[in-house]
């Protein structure tokens, strides 16, 4: 087994984007693909390593780009400035996710009939928005993602299975938001799961998260459990 990777340029309108694609060259032929949406900081080594981990499981991993080639935030202020335009224009966010999905689907290693999305923090919201707007994915996963509804998908049916991996003490996603998402997914006819990890804050998969006073902290147990849940979920949707 040898994990290979390459960077893939693509566009959304006039915006040049760059994704990171990983796959195992010991596997021949197209295989299921999972696109990975990044945190508010932009596509980083963290998301690329997750793509590598998915490749080691026999999938194609595609760490997508929501901001533009080479654009990364350097801290909370820049991250907020990068994230806010997309949060305030959810159709634009959804279009950018659709561009990433289309690009990943067109790669020679990818089985376009077996696509899924996942994401972290902002990326969790992006993954959920893709499920809300596309019938071309089999599953959508949110890791400590935001649950804010987009406001433009009421009445849509959600055909993808949905898995939300959530820190029960995440101050960015209060209980009311979880209940509202439950109702939304049920109304949309989705096959959904929400796993809430007790005594767990936001950003629980990020070993660098160490700001409990701001509601963000790594939790090794929740990190391990959530990855196991992801692996089981992908096996189910791609069987």
pTM: 0.97
The DSSP secondary structure of 19-87, one letter per residue, reads: EEEEEETTS-S-EEEEEEE--TT-S-HHHHHHHHHHHHTTSEEEE--SS-TT----SHHHHHHHHHHHH
Domain that holds residue 175: 21-237
The number of domains in the chain is 1
Q: Is 140 among the domain residues?
A: yes
What is the CATH classification number for the domain harbouring 208?
Answer: 3.40.50.1820
pLDDT of residue 85: 97
Q: Is 142 among the domain residues?
A: yes
| Rounded Cα gap, residues 173 and 63, in angstroms | 24
Spatial contact of 99 and 12, defined as CB atoms under 8 Å apart: yes
**1 pLDDT exceeds 80?**
no
pLDDT of residue 184: 98
Mean pLDDT of 156-183: 97
Q: Is 2 among the domain residues?
A: no
Q: Is 13 among the domain residues?
A: no
Q: Is the dihedral of CA 11, 12, 17, 23 positive or negative?
A: negative
Confidence of residue 37 (pLDDT cuts 50, 70, 90): very high
pLDDT of residue 193: 98
Angle between helices 122-133 and 90-105 in degrees, nearest 10: 80
Q: Is 228 among the domain residues?
A: yes
Q: Is 11 among the domain residues?
A: no
Residues 82-119: pLDDT tens digits? 999 999 999 999 999 999 999 999 999 999 999 999 99
Q: Is 182 among the domain residues?
A: yes
Residues 185-195: pLDDT tens digits? 999 999 999 99
Q: Is 184 among the domain residues?
A: yes
């Amino acid at each position: 087994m040898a994990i290979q990777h390459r960077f893939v340029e693509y566009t959304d309108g006039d915006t040049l984007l760059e994704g990171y694609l990983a796959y195992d060259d010991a596997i021949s032929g197209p295989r299921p693909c999972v696109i990975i949406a990044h945190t508010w900081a932009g596509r980083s080594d963290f998301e690329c390593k997750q793509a590598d981990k998915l490749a080691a499981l026999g999938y194609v991993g595609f760490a997508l780009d929501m901001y533009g080639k080479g654009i990364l935030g350097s801290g909370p202020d820049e991250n907020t400035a990068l994230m806010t335009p997309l949060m305030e224009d959810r159709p634009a966010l959804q279009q950018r996710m659709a561009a990433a999905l289309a690009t990943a689907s067109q790669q020679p290693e990818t089985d376009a009939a077996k696509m899924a999305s996942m994401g972290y923090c902002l990326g969790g919201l992006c993954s959920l928005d893709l499920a809300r707007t596309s019938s071309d994915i089999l599953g959508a996963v949110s890791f400590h993602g935001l649950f804010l509804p987009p406001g433009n998908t009421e009445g849509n049916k959600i055909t993808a299975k949905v898995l939300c991996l959530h820190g029960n003490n995440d101050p960015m996603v209060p209980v009311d938001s979880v209940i509202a998402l439950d109702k939304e997914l049920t109304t949309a006819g989705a096959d959904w799961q929400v796993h809430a990890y007790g005594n767990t804050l936001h950003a629980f998969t990020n070993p660098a998260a160490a700001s409990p006073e701001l509601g963000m902290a790594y939790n090794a147990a929740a990190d391990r459990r959530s990855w196991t849940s992801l692996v089981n979920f992908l096996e189910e949707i791609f069987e």
